[in-house]
Every structure is written in structure tokens, then in C-alpha cells.
Amino acid sequence: MGGFAKKAIELTRRDFLSWLTAASLSVTGFFALGTLAKQITPPTRSPEGLTEVGWLAVGTVDSLTEGLPKLVEYGEEWVYLVKKADGLVNAINAACPHVRCKLGWNANTKRFDCPCHGSAFTIDGKRLYGPAPRDMFAMKLRLEGKNIVVGGYADA
């Protein structure tokens, strides 16, 4: 009787260890498949390595004033929406192309100024001067009715 009980306990322990091994392999396999899937379809990245978030509604045309850039969030980043005299809207990334400091709109000089190293840009994002190596990054944009939808970097 005592031997039978001991054998029953061993079976239970063996079953538990088998179950634990199977569960560990399943979890490991799950994460391995996830890693493999990421390698097959890597996430889209911005020129600076940030994860792009695809098309996002960021505002409405009616909320914009001509000649006054509006700063909006786009995923991990900031984007300026600019309504032009012809009524069209531009979206340009607010990160300075030098080392990504957030550009500020200067209403007096009508340009974007970088607080870090002094680069400056026109309202269209064209580089005026400073260490920035290029114009501001243009963003893809489409209108859905009055909604402004931004979709990642246009010129990367």
C-alpha cells in the first residue's frame, strides 16, 4: 500500500514536471515566433529610427489660421500643420533635422527657430541657416472631408 502511494506521488510529480516543461517550451516558442515575425515584417521607422504609426487624424482644416502653424501630436512626434494662402495644408515634422530639438514658431520673424543650435527655417520648412543639414522633414498628408490625416515621412 505504501509503495502504491509513493508511486502515485512520483507519477504526479513526473506529470507536473512534464507539464512544466511543455509550458516552458510553449512560452519560449511563442516569444521565438514573435521575434521571427518581427524580423519578417519589421516596423516602419522614421529617418531617425522612431516607429511610424501610419495614418492618423491630427486636426481639422477649420482649426487652422493661414500663416500660423499649428503644432499637433503625431505618435511619438510633433508635426506643424500650415495652411497656405491658396487654402492647401502642409504637414512638416517639428523635429530639427540637426539633432531633433523641437522647433518653435517665431510669430515676429515668421520662421521656425531651433532653440538648441540656432538653425532657422521658413514657414514651408526650407532651411535658412544654421547647422541643420537639410530642410525640415515633410510629412504625408491627405484630407478626409475637413479632417487632416498625416501618414509618415514624405521625403525620407
How large is the C-alpha radius of gyration of the chain? Answer: 27
Stretch that binds ligand FES, among 52-60, 73-81, 115-123, 135-143 (CB under 6 A): 115-123
Of 117, 134, 142, 146, which lies in the binding site for ligand FES, with binding defined by CB under 6 A?
117
Q: Which residues of 134-145 are buried (b: 16+ CB within 10 A; e: fewer)?
A: ebbbbbebeeee
Residue closer to ligand FES, measured from CB, 89 or 101: 101
Of 56, 89, 101, 154, which lies in the binding site for ligand FES, with binding defined by CB under 6 A?
101
To the nearest whole angstrom, how small is the minimum distance from the Cβ of residue 98 to ligand FES? 3
What does the alpha-carbon distance between residue 120 and residue 114 come to, in Å, rounded to a whole number?
6
116 burial (CB, 10 Å; 0-12 / 13-18 / 19+) is middle
The footprint of ligand FES (CB under 6 A) covers: 96, 98-99, 101, 114, 116-119, 130-132
